Amino acid sequence: MISDEVIQKIKDENDIVDIISETVKLKKAGRNYVGLCPFHHEKTPSFSVSQEKQIYKCFGCGEAGNVITFLMKTRKLTFLDSLKLLGDRVNISIDTQDDKSPARERYDKMYLLNVEAAKFFRSNLLENNTAMAYFLNRGITKKLIANFGLGYAPDSWNSLLKHLKGKGYTELDLLNAGLIIKSPKGTCYDRFRNRVTFPVFDYRGKVIGFGGRVMDDTKPKYLNSPETALFKKGINLYGMNFTIKNLTDDYIIIVEGYMDCIALHQYGITNAVASLGTALTINQAKLIKRYVDKVIIAYDADLAGQAATLRGLDILKQAGLDVRVLTVPEGKDPDEFIRNNGKDAFVNLLAKSLPLIDYRISKVREGVDMKNSDNLIHYVEKVIQILTDLDPVEQDVYIKKISEETNIKDQAIYDMLKTKMQSGERKAEDSNDSPALRQKLYMEPAYLKAERTLLKLMLEEPYALEHAEKHIFKEDFVVESHRLLYEKILEMKESDSESRKKAIELKLTDPDSVSEWVNILEYETVYDKDNTDSFVDDCIKEIKKYKLEESKKEIMLKIKRFEAEGRFQESMELAKEFIKIQKKGGMR
């Protein structure tokens, strides 16, 4: 039996957009991603993926689900196999027998191998004056060098390979860990050579990989371990294990490089982590959200750093974080700035960090001649694009700011924003208005809408749940998955709505049930809350009406068959039953 906590953790650490993007070409469209549905043939995209809700839904064929059911459907896997595959991606073992599964043993062996490699690099650093001087000259103390496990990879093709083989490890072990490289001729050699090294820890403090940096101008400047069973760049953050232990502030600072992170820790700013040289992912954002609600992103001030900043902002915002942006002046990186100016100067920069929207507007404003009418209009149009995703209160605040800055009346800016948003809504409606969607919505039977509506009300309205329980039973539902969901809702009736939703989804192991679950959660119900019981009754009547009609059809088919077979007495009995059903239907 796999615990709900393990299933939830696997779902949390496997971003649905990343998984689906491996087989479906997705394109950002507003808050969601869209692409061609993998479950039916289509030329116009109607397949939508929500990164925020971690679900997918096709508005053409009706398929819906989560990251687990996507693998079940597309790869023809069982629930358990899908869960194992996703667990392997993020180093979560779901072996149900014992903790010493083959996968667990492989991971444990690789962890130990990485520890041995870290010890080897560490011992070489202590023996190499040039490498040690590199760190000391950059203001890193010997204590911090030891804490972060910094090391040195010798200028040799196979010193690490020889050392670890002497410890009993094979070349295959080292290849799997990314510590050596195999040439086309079959010769193996060390990945890291003549570089200072940085062991990368996961948030629990286990060594999962390495980074290496040259001490001169040789290229490439930085070299990282490749993706392995342990080392997933999009899941981990460098320095997170140290930050968790020393977290005293209510925010975390994200920098780009190893040295940026270490330098901030050296100066007593221990809530800094590094993004391992990649664009931020939703999984990294979720990891941060476990510990704080606010994040300050402090990437390098060069153009590449600015581009990375802009890419990371939306990811962090989607995870529910309050996002601020720190701009390091004079094109410097955090490491260089704090070494040259000290801790107090950097703390002042933190205090001046801009909220996400202000930062975006400041980037749009750069280089704009406010005295040029064309430039001014173009600037306001770009700002309006930024404001479309905000709530009305935020829009109001920023429109007043822009009005004061540009001397354009705020009503004119409101009108431009309204036009822009209406245009976006029309495009969204048009994109969902495919023939397949129109046909599906038109053909969707009334009983199906009634069952989905009833289950949605039972989920969200305590009185609706209580009223429905008295007037409809599991057997009354037409759709099999709805019968299961009805049972699950009743089992969780003592819980609040949100707890009920989370618990039920974790207990669903077949794709059809999950698909209907997503459809129900996304179903929009409009009703008078003062007359909930009447609305529930209408749904129940619609369901029972369909059941009666189906019973009548079934009896009519039997009557015709009995008459054809000359079984007139049985036919007459069925005719009497048919009349009773008709009367029952008429008394509704």
Measured CA distances, 27 to 15, 20, 45, 285 (Å): 16, 12, 10, 21
Report pLDDT for 135. Answer: 95
In this structure, are 348 and 404 located in the same domain? Answer: no
Q: Does residue 562 lie within any of the structural domains?
A: no
Q: What is the CATH number of the domain that holds 291?
A: 3.40.1360.10
In this structure, are 276 and 348 located in the same domain? Answer: yes
Q: What is the CATH number of the domain that holds 506?
A: 1.10.860
Question: In whole angstroms, what is the distance from residue 195 CA to residue 289 CA?
Answer: 34
Q: Does residue 390 lie within any of the structural domains?
A: yes
Q: Which pTM does this prediction carry?
A: 0.63
In this structure, are 475 and 532 located in the same domain? Answer: yes
Torsional class of 576: left (φ above 0), alpha (ψ -120 to 50), beta (otherwise):
alpha
Contact 179/190 with Cβ under 8 angstroms?
yes
In this structure, are 85 and 107 located in the same domain? Answer: no
Q: Does residue 577 lie within any of the structural domains?
A: no
Phi, psi of 217 (to 5 degrees): -100, 15
Tokens encoding 68: 């687990």
Q: Which of 403, 429, 455 is the last residue of a domain?
A: 429
Q: Does residue 436 lie within any of the structural domains?
A: no
Q: Does residue 135 lie within any of the structural domains?
A: yes
Per-residue buried b or exposed e for 442-462, using 16+ beta carbons within 10 Å of the residue's own CB: eeeeebbebbbbbbbbbbebe
In this structure, are 190 and 256 located in the same domain? Answer: no
Report pLDDT for 303. Answer: 46
DSSP characters over 3-16? -HHHHHHHHHHS-H
Nearest to 8 by CA among 496, 485, 501: 501
Q: Does residue 494 lie within any of the structural domains?
A: yes
Angle, CA of 390, 391 and 395, to the nearest 5° = 70
In this structure, are 110 and 218 located in the same domain? Answer: yes
Beta pairing, strands 64-65 & 207-213? unpaired
Report pLDDT for 97. Answer: 43
Q: What is the CATH number of the domain that holds 113?
A: 3.90.980.10
In this structure, are 281 and 320 located in the same domain? Answer: yes
In this structure, are 85 and 115 located in the same domain? Answer: no
DSSP characters over 347-371? HHHHHTPEEHHHHHHHHHHTT--TT
In this structure, are 107 and 210 located in the same domain? Answer: yes
In this structure, are 220 and 107 located in the same domain? Answer: yes
Contact 243/271 with Cβ under 8 angstroms?
yes
In this structure, are 306 and 377 located in the same domain? Answer: no
Q: Does residue 95 lie within any of the structural domains?
A: no
Contact 442/512 with Cβ under 8 angstroms?
no
Q: Does residue 323 lie within any of the structural domains?
A: yes
Report pLDDT for 548. Answer: 84
Domain count of the chain? 5
Report pLDDT for 310. Answer: 66
Torsional class of 398: left (φ above 0), alpha (ψ -120 to 50), beta (otherwise):
alpha
pLDDT in tens, the chain (588 residues): 678 888 988 998 899 998 999 999 999 888 899 999 999 988 889 999 998 889 999 988 889 999 999 999 998 888 988 998 898 888 787 764 445 556 667 778 899 999 999 999 999 999 999 999 999 999 899 999 999 999 999 999 999 999 999 999 999 999 999 999 999 999 999 999 999 999 999 888 999 999 999 998 888 888 999 988 888 888 889 999 999 888 888 899 999 889 999 999 999 999 999 987 667 888 888 889 888 989 999 876 554 545 556 666 778 887 889 999 998 887 688 999 999 999 999 999 999 999 988 988 988 888 888 888 888 888 999 999 888 878 888 899 999 999 999 889 989 988 888 888 776 655 544 544 444 443 444 356 888 889 999 999 998 888 889 889 999 999 999 888 899 999 999 998 888 888 888 888 888 888 888 999 998 888 877 777 777 888 889 999 999 888 888 888 888 888 888 788 888 788 788 777 777 766 665 443
Secondary structure (3-state) at 29:
strand
Domain span holding position 165: 102-224
In this structure, are 251 and 284 located in the same domain? Answer: yes
Contact 277/321 with Cβ under 8 angstroms?
no
Question: In whole angstroms, what is the distance from residue 553 CA to residue 564 CA?
Answer: 17
What residue type is 256 in one-letter code?
E
